[in-house]
Structure 1
Amino acid sequence: MLNRRQLITRSALASASLALPGFASAQAAATTTRIVVPFAAGGPIDVTARILAEAVKGTLGTVIVENRPGAGGNIGVSAVAKAAPDGLTLGIATTASHGINPWLFKQLPYDPARDFAAITQMLRVPNVLVMNAETAARLKITTLAELIAYGKANPGKLNYGSGGNGSAGHLAGELFKNQAGIFAVHIPYNGGNPAQLGLLSGQVDFNFDNLATAAANIRSGKLKALAVTTAQRSSVVPEVPTVAATLPGFEIDTWWGLIAPAGTPAETVRKLNTAFGDALKSPEVKSRFALLLAEPAPSTPEQFDDFMKRERAKYERMVKLSGAQVD
């Protein structure tokens, strides 16, 4: 027979063994890092976030990706701004959320300058000015200079497509028109894919598209690449010149990077920067990003913060130039 003290001890041990799985689960949840992607699953931002999440699991443990799409990235980014600054909720800052949207929307549910702690830039992807190949052949356009010359000689006859008013493609088109001194009608589509289909079908003459999206059609000969929008030529299409070679100072690309809520301890930010920075420099991540025609761009938190400030200043001018407004 067990005495009363033995019964109490065994009962306590049994209760503890039942509670342990739940405790372990709660403990795991408390230390799981999540990366909030402010766009739908399957796109390049989502894919690269998942590549990084896998690459840092040896350093940070479990890292999950949570998609919170909507309102041009504002919904997901706002969720990050409101999260606890404990280093366990991270987000993706993009050209849209931290460059364009502050000027495109009259009211934002977050402050891009004050509500976040920069961790590291992840990558930059060149944009490219592409023409429908058949249109380019018909108009005898093989270079950017020839496109500009045609636009000046035939005012109002060119048009270009974009993923919508205020999109990166729209702003790039307006800046191009301004610097080139030509006029082309803007045709807004409901997203980047419809805009590319409009170009492929000949509905529009040219687009400023993401290189990762346009590359397959460039290689197949359906699209004619006239220039990349980065300051230097792209290693992916080194034969394509830059817009800046014809229009000095023209520089636009697509970028995104990691952020945390404001107030995240500096020591935590440094730890995250080291973990993700090391992953971005690894051969495996570089090779996987290369399949997306993207180049890793690890940075210090200070460098990424300064970069985003410069991008906001650049896009303020571009949004005003375009006249685009969402609300």
Structure 2
Amino acid sequence: MELPAAATSVSRRQALRLAATTATSLVASSALAAGVHGEFPSNTSRRKSELSLVVPYAAGGPLDRSARKLAAETTTLGSIQVLNVLGDGGAKGAAMVARAGAREPMLLMGAVATHAVLPWLNPQLPYDPLRDFQPLTMVARMPHVLVMRADLAMQWRIYTPDDLLRFMSKTRQPLRYASAGNGSIGHIAGQLFQALTRVPLQHLPFSGASPALSALLDGSADLMFDNIASALIHLRAGRLKAIGVTARSPLAVLPQVPSLEASVPGLSLPTWFGVFATAGIPDALARRWSDAFAQTLQRPKVQEYFDAMGVIREDLRLQDFARFLQQEHSYYGKVLKAHQLIP
């Protein structure tokens, strides 16, 4: 076959250069493909630059802030892009990571809602929390606190869980409580509160903790079981009043706020969040990513950042994190069934 005229004019030097470029591309492609079966090559900048960390909730919340801090500080993995993928109480973002596939894996800042609660509330969830993810590093536990606007709490004379129960029993009007979405711990806490006290609440779901908190502050909602990292700045500024915490004892950052369980036995909901990868990645890569995030969490300035948010730092990795996940999945299934929140 005769070459086009343009091709016949290519000089020997240009041809050699073109051949060398093509060979280099083929070698790089082969190395990238080989990385699927072992650790991705450390010099593959293309692979590093494509690593994405999905936050399944709105920007500005504690999971988003934690993800962005980890992404910025974990420099050994190259550039990590944080993506906020909202919808279905966190399920949309989680499903995106689950479907990514081992050849193009993604990371997820998953939480108790996406991995231990939603699977029980929605049998048609488009992912399996235990099968479709590789647990890497648990980041922190995050207590929740029942809050109201400070001026409303003063107007209604509500300062403790017992005050709230007396007020609600007297009025019998359902107070509106905002949450980070269906299946979030804030949502489940409200449902459990109703089941245990027999007092009515009206649920107002949002796409994350930040918009839910905005609704509380502007008067669109009356109550919120908010995470401590989100509520703390407003509590310290006097905009919110803490009524009780969803822990078995008062928190170090809120020593004067009583435990809700003292007034509502059974209302203790541990919550947590951590980094997951798409299932099926090589073990060596899982260890590398897990170690990188764990090392970042040990840095003093990162520890100070999380301490300032009021979260409790953790250090569970890989198999230990996976075992913890299985326990949490089972625990919430029992809690939800025991209180008839699911069939």
Question: Which TM bucket (shorter chain)?
Answer: 0.7 to 0.9
**What amino acid maps onto 1:156 in structure 2?**
R
User: CA–CA distance in 2 between the matches of 1:210 and 1:97?
Assistant: 16
Is 1:16 paired with 2:37? no
**What amino acid maps onto 2:178 in structure 1?**
S
**What amino acid maps onto 2:142 in structure 1?**
V
User: CA–CA distance in 2 between the matches of 1:141 and 1:39?
Assistant: 31
Specify the alignment match of 2:39 in structure 1. Answer: none
The answer to whether the Cα contact below 8 Å between 2:102 and 2:280 also exists between their aligned partners in 1 is yes
Change (3 A) 1:189 1:156: same
Instruction: Compute the displacement of 1:48 (Å).
Output: 1.7
Specify the alignment match of 1:63 in structure 2. Answer: 80
User: CA–CA distance in 2 between the matches of 1:193 and 1:37?
Assistant: 13
- TM-score w.r.t. length of structure 1: 0.80
Instruction: Compute the displacement of 1:98 (Å).
Output: 0.7
Change (3 A) 1:271 1:248: farther
Instruction: Compute the displacement of 1:166 (Å).
Output: 3.9
Name the SS of the counterpart of 1:259 in structure 2. Answer: strand
Matches within 5 A, 1:1-327: 8=12, 11-13=15-17, 16=20, 27-32=44-49, 33-58=51-76, 60-85=77-102, 89-152=106-169, 154=170, 156-157=172-173, 159-163=175-179, 164-179=181-196, 181-191=197-207, 192-193=209-210, 195-200=212-217, 204-317=221-334, 319=336, 321=339, 323=341
- TM-score w.r.t. length of structure 2: 0.77
**What amino acid maps onto 2:204 in structure 1?**
P
- Percent identity over the alignment is 34
Instruction: Compute the displacement of 1:148 (Å).
Output: 2.8
User: CA–CA distance in 2 between the matches of 1:324 and 1:213?
Assistant: 28
Instruction: Compute the displacement of 1:156 (Å).
Output: 1.7
**What amino acid maps onto 1:238 in structure 2?**
P
Instruction: Compute the displacement of 1:119 (Å).
Output: 1.0
The answer to whether the Cα contact below 8 Å between 1:131 and 1:224 also exists between their aligned partners in 2 is yes
The answer to whether the Cα contact below 8 Å between 1:93 and 1:257 also exists between their aligned partners in 2 is yes
The answer to whether the Cα contact below 8 Å between 1:155 and 1:182 also exists between their aligned partners in 2 is no
User: CA–CA distance in 2 between the matches of 1:40 and 1:189?
Assistant: 13
Instruction: Compute the displacement of 1:87 (Å).
Output: 8.7
Number of matched pairs? 316
The answer to whether the Cα contact below 8 Å between 2:55 and 2:63 also exists between their aligned partners in 1 is yes
Name the SS of the counterpart of 1:221 in structure 2. Answer: coil
Please list the CA deviations of residues 47-68 of structure 1 after superposition, one character each: whole Å capped at 9, or x if unmatched: 322221222213x334333343
User: CA–CA distance in 1 between the matches of 2:14 and 2:303?
Assistant: 55
Name the SS of the counterpart of 2:226 in structure 1. Answer: strand
The answer to whether the Cα contact below 8 Å between 1:122 and 1:256 also exists between their aligned partners in 2 is yes
User: CA–CA distance in 2 between the matches of 1:289 and 1:190?
Assistant: 24
